[in-house]
Amino acid sequence: MPQDTDPITPPGARHRLVDVPGARIHLVEQGTGPLVLLVHGFPELWSSWRHQLPALAAAGYRAVAVDVRGYGRSSAPGDVAAYRIGAHVRDNVAVVRALGEESAVIVGHDWGSTIATGSALLRPDVFTAVGMLGVPYAPRGGPRPSEVFAAIGGDEEFYVGHFQEPGRAEAEIERDVRGWLAGFYATLAGDTGPQQGEASVFFVPEGGRMADRFVARRPSWLTDVELDFVAAEFERTGFTGALNRYRSMDRDWEDLADFDGAPVVQPSLFVAGERDASLAWLAGAVEAFPRTLPGLVSSHLVEGCGHWVQQERPDEVNRLLLAWLASLDGAAPPDPQDTRERADRS
């Protein structure tokens, strides 16, 4: 298991492995108080929350960032069916219980946002509020997801379809894990993403690779040490576990048939980068918030920010998270400067 003194782990945070049904989940926790469970997206790790852990802890919360099953130090089952939404929800419930808690606020980014809203939808008794970063809640409905995404690309292949065939995307990514990650992060970042006239990375030309459309620029918010840490974990695990979440979308659609069109009613928060390219095809989900998220407290677009919102703009995201969390208890939000000073001292 990684050491608590590695260059990524915030001072005062600690690593744990906890048992969940048929697997183990690795997590990093910091602070005491009400539990806030943080769920990362693709292709990331618990470390995508490295800026939020100390800020939440300093504000009086028990912040816990997991490695989702298939990632990092968590178990990676071989069966694609082991990555359907119900399995992730059971993992999250088991983590809450293993930490000795009965309930938690859950916050997710990218695929983690979908896992977070699925957890809130299926287990409202455990997850009392939900925060979504980057990806809005979209209820189950309409055709199968594979049919929807197959129709998006036109003459080119939408990246979700590109990820479906086992081994195909792995062959591209794993030939140069660090280089692929660097390019993917840069291409979806606000400060380095495609400029006018540059093709979208989300569409893959016939016979081509996603990496063919990566930008060569380097994000200002990602250090070599941080990139090396994530790349080393994926070099060790490979990408199959991570990609299996994409390969489970139709299974989710089948499993959630009883929740067709169902809203998530708990208090919620949405934060996304104004330059997040994924919002182009998710705009309808945002427009539907009055119906799909009746408990929405606030929704924010961070100017000039791309997809990796909590890493690109950690101070702003921390401020929004803390204000929302305080609103759940009817308390005044903590002063951001005071929170930063306490985090620095922890």
Residue 265 and residue 289 in contact, taking contact as beta carbons nearer than 8 Å? no
Q: Which H or E run contains 336?
A: helix 336-345
Structure tokens belonging to residue 64: 């816990």
What is the helix, strand, coil percentage profile of the chain, to 5?
A: 40, 15, 40
User: Partners of 109 in the beta sheet?
Assistant: 133
Catalogue the long-range contacts made by 282-285 (C-beta closer than 8 Å, 24 or more residues apart).
Answer: 282/135, 282/136, 282/138, 285/136, 285/137, 285/138
Q: Each residue of 317-338: b (16+ CB within 10 Å) or e? A: bbbbbbbbbebeeeeebbebee
161: Cβ contacts below 8 Å, ≥ 6 apart? 146, 149, 150, 153
Catalogue the long-range contacts made by 290-293 (C-beta closer than 8 Å, 24 or more residues apart).
Answer: 291/263, 292/137, 292/138, 292/139, 292/263, 292/264, 293/137, 293/263, 293/264, 293/268
Amino acid letter, 116: A
Task: Evaluate the CA torsion angle 107, 122, 67, 230 in order and state its sign.
Answer: negative
The residues that are catalytic are 110, 307
**Closest of 272, 268, 263, 270 to residue 328, by C-alpha:** 268
**Closest of 156, 158, 166, 112 to residue 137, by C-alpha:** 112
